[in-house]
Amino acid sequence: MAISSFFKRILSVDDRILDQEFQLTPMTDEDSSHKAAQTKAGNDPQRASGRPLRLKRMIIRFGDRYMAGDVTLHTVHGHKEVIPISYAELQQRAVKRTSKMNQGSSTNDPPTFIQYALTDNQHILEKVFRLPINADIVIRKFRLGGEHVADAMAVFVDGIADKIIINNHILEPLMMLSDLEHDIASLSLEDRIQNVLLPGNQVMKFSTYKDAIENILAGSTVLFIDGVNVVISVETKGWEHRPVGITQTEAAVRGPHDAFTENFRSNTGLVRSKLRSPNLITEMRQLGTLASTDIAIMYMDGVVNPNIVNEVKRRIESIKVDYVPESGLVEQFIEDAPMGVIPKLLSTERPDRVAYGLTEGQVAIFVGHSPYVLLVPVLFWSLLQTAEDAYLHWPFGTFIRFIRIIALFIALLLPALYIAVTNFHPEMIPTEIMLSIASSRERVPFPVVIEVLIMEFSIELIREAGIRIPSVIGPTIGIVGALILGQAAVAAGIISPLLIIIVAVTALGSFTMPNYNLSFTVRVLRFGFIASAAVFGFYGIILLFMVLMMHAVTLKSLGVPILSPIAPRRKSSSDTIWRAPAYKMEVRPNPYFPLRERRQSPMSRSWSPLAKDTDQMAQGRGDDDDKKRK
């Protein structure tokens, strides 16, 4: 079915579909004025929906203590807002409610708003959290002291909330210190608790069950008070997690060694501590209908192209899924051309890399407690780079980049080239080496292709086993794999010694890939090249290579062609294969169309009399000299 629809699409594709694809373009004045108009309309729902009638909001107050002259008439609690709606909207709501029921929505769904009566709220919470079966949720009931005695309850999740904070900074002030005199006659009960009694650093009020439940599940302690239809949430997150450790997959000799960990706020904090700017914005979203996961979208306002931020938000908000445990899944939901094998997003565990990416005009996506942060958009060349390239002196940075590019081609093509040369083009090799290969293959009963496949498969086995095996016996697997298996295979006459060298060099090449996803790309594509070489020799390798090139040049990462600035050519500082000196990296990567193009002054080494970075700089120095003379 899927195959037939695929062919149907090939034969009936409409070019206009391609025009709808998101393509990153530079911001123009028209864009920004249009966006401003949209934002303005967005803030005003009536204007946004274009409703001509402004429905007046009628508020019926009941529950606030109100006075008629000097006499207190009666005391009721809370207030309720009644918003008149049109009949069409009412009908729409009814349809929505019915369809929700038809979809089998849970009967445990709480009402929208917090109730006034504490017992009602308790019943609702018991129903929502399936108490008392569910042992994780703790409801601690107590009585508030002071002038107005009221029943209250603190709700939190055992294991993810900090008990010391709850005992010392919530229950103790509310139960024991609430008798103290304060000059707070004008404050309502909930404001008094929030402003005077709770010393927590983050105390917020919420009026809906959705917010209350999300806060409870996120580790906060939520206070329900009898007769008050708002809850007070105190930040008490305190679950056990791994402290900030060293990088596991992106190790660098020069540069910081800290890595993201399994704590959302620590991760965002790690970046913010490195990038101390008021322009650094973190927007929060929740994803998941069954269990929500926090998503943070971080960007540098004034640098990043707003089209990228809007597109990231649009893609994340359009994800309809019940649970997202890891950034790897979000990556699959938001990437362009998801059927391809080339990564279109950069997942990194290095805070310094994220910080630098943000200053270049990229957007970072933090997903829940995932220790890998996504950077978008990304260029293919970034996948071949490490943070270290930039920290090292530029000739060394460039040198290791060249090594990596060569390693990429070795990892991708070496076994295929070996097959092509030995099977189809033996005349290429000098006679002595040809004879040596022939003599080493004399005892081997298999064709070269089978021989290569056996060895490649063995290497993949060793690699997989090396990851899955318990770390205590992990190092031995290398010895077992490399020595015993290789030696034994040669001794048994199954494999030629030359092939051991070929496969080992190939494996080393693929290990140099700095990006974990890219190393998978190389591993998978290598088998494709082996097959094409086995069938057509060099000709087959070239055909597949050309297909791969076409695939790569038309790939986009959030609207940015991933092979830019080389194909298509765009003006940019030299940071693809060649790493220019830091003082010459004057502009941000042009493919991201950042709002601020220049990142350093043309006179970045103005102290040096020999510095001749650019014409502008020479001009700048001339100006300075003129000023001094004056």
Partner 1 sequence: MTKNANNSSSIRIGRVGIAELTALITIYCSTDVFLSYPSRVAVEGATAAWMIPLIAGVITFAVFLLLYLAMRKTPTQNLIELVMNSLSPFIGIPVAIAFSVFFFLQTAIVMREFTETVVTTVLPRTPSEIIAASFLLVVVYYAYKGLEGLTRVAVLIAYILGVGLVILLVLPLTWFHLPYLMPLAGRGWNVTLMHSLLNTSAFANVLMLAILYPAVRNQQHFVRAGLMSILFTALTMSAVLFVVLGVFTDAVSGQVSFPLYQLARLIYVGRFVQRLEAVFVFLWTAGAVLKMGFGLWLSGYLYAAAFRMPVYRPILFPLALLIYVFVFLPQNIMAVEALESRIIEPFAWIVELLAPLVLVIVSVGINHLRGANRQAQS
- The footprint of partner 1 (CB under 8 A) covers 10-16, 18-19, 424-425, 427-428, 430, 536-540, 542-543, 546-547, 549-550, 553-554, 561, 563, 566-569
Q: Which residues contact 244 (CB under 8 A, 6 or more apart)?
A: 258, 259, 260, 261, 266, 270
Closest CB to partner 1 among residues 157, 417: 417
Closest CB to partner 1 among residues 245, 568: 568
In the complex, minimum distance from the CB of residue 428 to partner 1, in angstroms, rounded to a whole number: 5
In the complex, minimum distance from the CB of residue 426 to partner 1, in angstroms, rounded to a whole number: 10
In the complex, minimum distance from the CB of residue 200 to partner 1, in angstroms, rounded to a whole number: 56
Q: In the beta sheet, which residues pair with residue 459?
A: none
How far is it between the farthest Cα atoms of the chain?
A: 113
In the complex, minimum distance from the CB of residue 535 to partner 1, in angstroms, rounded to a whole number: 9
d(CA 130, CA 107): 12
Closest CB to partner 1 among residues 197, 541: 541
Closest CB to partner 1 among residues 104, 430: 430
Classify each residue of 144-174 as buried b or exposed e, where b means 16 or more C-beta atoms within 10 Å of its C-beta.
bbbeeebbbbbbbbeebbbeebbeebbbebb
CA gyration radius, the chain = 32
Looking at the chain, how many residues does it have? 630
Closest CB to partner 1 among residues 115, 557: 557
In the complex, minimum distance from the CB of residue 8 to partner 1, in angstroms, rounded to a whole number: 11
d(CA 28, CA 595): 10
Closest CB to partner 1 among residues 393, 551: 551
In the complex, minimum distance from the CB of residue 584 to partner 1, in angstroms, rounded to a whole number: 22
Closest CB to partner 1 among residues 73, 550: 550
- Would you state the torsion angle of the CA atoms of residues 81, 285, 593, 41, taken in this order, to the nearest 10 degrees? -10
In the complex, minimum distance from the CB of residue 383 to partner 1, in angstroms, rounded to a whole number: 17
In the complex, minimum distance from the CB of residue 506 to partner 1, in angstroms, rounded to a whole number: 20
Please provide the distance, in angstroms rounded to a whole number, between the alpha carbons at the two ends of the chain.
Answer: 81
In the complex, minimum distance from the CB of residue 115 to partner 1, in angstroms, rounded to a whole number: 58
Helix (H) or strand (E) holding 127: helix 118-128
Q: Cα–Cα–Cα angle for 16, 22, 24, nearest 5°? A: 130
Closest CB to partner 1 among residues 95, 546: 546
Closest CB to partner 1 among residues 357, 537: 537
In the complex, minimum distance from the CB of residue 93 to partner 1, in angstroms, rounded to a whole number: 42
State the DSSP string of 139-186.
EEEEEE-SSS-EEEEEEEETTTB-HHHHIIIIIHHHHHSTTS--S-TT
Other C-beta atoms lying within 10 Å of the C-beta of residue 458: 16
Do 212 and 233 meet the contact criterion of CB atoms below 8 Å apart? yes
In the complex, minimum distance from the CB of residue 380 to partner 1, in angstroms, rounded to a whole number: 11
Place of tokens 């509310």: 174
Closest CB to partner 1 among residues 180, 550: 550
Closest CB to partner 1 among residues 76, 548: 548
Backbone angles phi, psi at 281, to 5 degrees: -110, 135
Backbone angles phi, psi at 525, to 5 degrees: -65, -30
Other C-beta atoms lying within 10 Å of the C-beta of residue 513: 20
Closest CB to partner 1 among residues 15, 615: 15
State the DSSP string of 230-290.
-EEEE--B----PPS-B-SSS--SSS--B---S-HHHHHHHHHHHS--TTEEEEEEEE-SS
In the complex, minimum distance from the CB of residue 238 to partner 1, in angstroms, rounded to a whole number: 52
Helices (H), 344-393: 351-360, 380-383, 387-391
Closest CB to partner 1 among residues 13, 36: 13
Q: In the beta sheet, which residues pair with residue 232?
A: 205, 223
Three-state SS string across 478-499, please? HHHHHHHHHHHHHHCCCCCHHH
Query: CB-side exposure of 284: number of CA atoms within 13 Å?
Result: 8
In the complex, minimum distance from the CB of residue 19 to partner 1, in angstroms, rounded to a whole number: 6
Helix (H) or strand (E) holding 137: strand 137-144
Closest CB to partner 1 among residues 488, 550: 550
In the complex, minimum distance from the CB of residue 548 to partner 1, in angstroms, rounded to a whole number: 10
d(CA 308, CA 556): 13
Tokens of 137: 């949720």
d(CA 126, CA 137): 9
Closest CB to partner 1 among residues 124, 414: 414
3-state secondary structure of 555: coil
